[in-house]
Amino acid sequence: MTRAATLLVLFSLLSCKRSEDQAAKQRIFSPEEPIGALAEAKEPLDAGRLGAHKAQTRVQFAWFRGPGASDGGTDVSLAEDSSLHQAGSGDFSVRQENDRNQGFELVWVKGQVFVRGLFGPFRKRRTDRSDPERVRELAMGALPTFDRLAHGLRLQRSGEATVEGRRAIRYQVTGSAGRPPPAERTDLPKLEYPVQPWQKEEPTRVAGTVVVDAQTGVALAADLQGHFRVPGEGGPAAELDLHSVLAVSAIGKDPGVQPPQFEPEPSVPHAVKDPLRYLGKAPAPGAEEPATEDSDEEASEQPAEQPARQR
């Protein structure tokens, strides 16, 4: 494994991988022979070593389709900011917003999850109907996404730096590594997905810098710019300009993630819970009514049936 390939793996440092990825992670981070002057390359790299920290990412992209298209061409642009406050205990908060006043905020603390829209109140969510770690992974996914689009980055060591008092190694991005797409797993049924941009795109320009913590191998900063081209099928190609930035700060400092004040879920009107009964179209007598999520709660609220009196 080359030094560049090893560092690219570290772009996933800010996300907790799912259980099905652990086997692959073990292979990727297995001990290797020393790479350059970094003896730490012989050890399995664990992003959790970084402990408490804050991270911010900013992604700006613009899609273009040429004026030669039958519909005259289109262009779409968006800027998105994400922030993560990660506690050493595993608690965290994520905030994501874009330049169209859209976004959300999620807090995971002491096994409870709270979510709100950008301008709404927090509400407590059931943990079996949410996936906080996946939300964190997606919010901090700017660098892994850039890496996939670029088919891997070719990195060249350009010196050392100090970030938050920690020794770090600086790398210059010199282009795409041309890495082939990962092979599909053969032990699972094949799933059909919509065509993803990175399956056909051709990186035409990739540049930037990456700063990696010398002790843990965690990316502490990055500034990546790229231009990608997706060939058209019988028409003009689509083009993507992408700019991704990462900044990690407050390493080792507890961000103080606390449960937010939240509002209870609003009560659901009877017409919504039981629309057929509300409209006078309840099932005929004797017909079995379908069970609902509220059936258990409603049953518990009904008074117990009184036994018949003894004569």
Q: Is residue 268 assigned to a domain?
A: no
Q: Is residue 310 assigned to a domain?
A: no
pLDDT at 96: 96
pLDDT at 295: 46
Q: Is residue 59 assigned to a domain?
A: yes
Q: Is residue 305 assigned to a domain?
A: no
Q: Is residue 303 assigned to a domain?
A: no
The total of other beta-carbon atoms located within 10 Å of residue 245's CB is 18
Q: Is residue 292 assigned to a domain?
A: no
Angle, CA 80 vertex, CA 225 and CA 167 arms, to 5°: 55
pLDDT at 299: 43
Q: Which residues of 112-151 are buried (b: 16+ CB within 10 A; e: fewer)?
A: ebbbbeeeeebbbbeeeeeebeebbbbbbbbbbbbbbbbb
Domain count, the chain: 1
Upper half-sphere CA count for residue 135 (Cβ side, 13 Å): 21
Predicted TM-score (pTM) above 0.75: no
pLDDT at 279: 65
206's CB contacts (< 8 A; 6+ apart) are 150, 153, 173, 175, 176, 224, 225, 226, 227
pLDDT at 49: 75
Angle, CA 293 vertex, CA 292 and CA 297 arms, to 5°: 105
Which domain range does residue 232 map to? 3-185+192-249
Q: Is residue 175 assigned to a domain?
A: yes
- The whole-number mean pLDDT for each consecutive block of 10 residues of the chain, a chain of 311 residues, reads 42 40 38 35 50 95 73 81 95 96 96 93 87 91 91 94 93 89 68 54 92 92 94 78 95 94 75 62 57 46 46 44
pLDDT at 112: 95
Burial of residue 185, with CB atoms counted within 10 A of its CB: 0-12 exposed, 13-18 middle, 19 or more buried: exposed
Q: Is residue 309 assigned to a domain?
A: no
Residue 210 in contact with residue 222, Cβ under 8 Å?
yes
CA 44 vs CA 29, 31, 33, 155, 299: distances in Å = 5, 6, 12, 21, 54
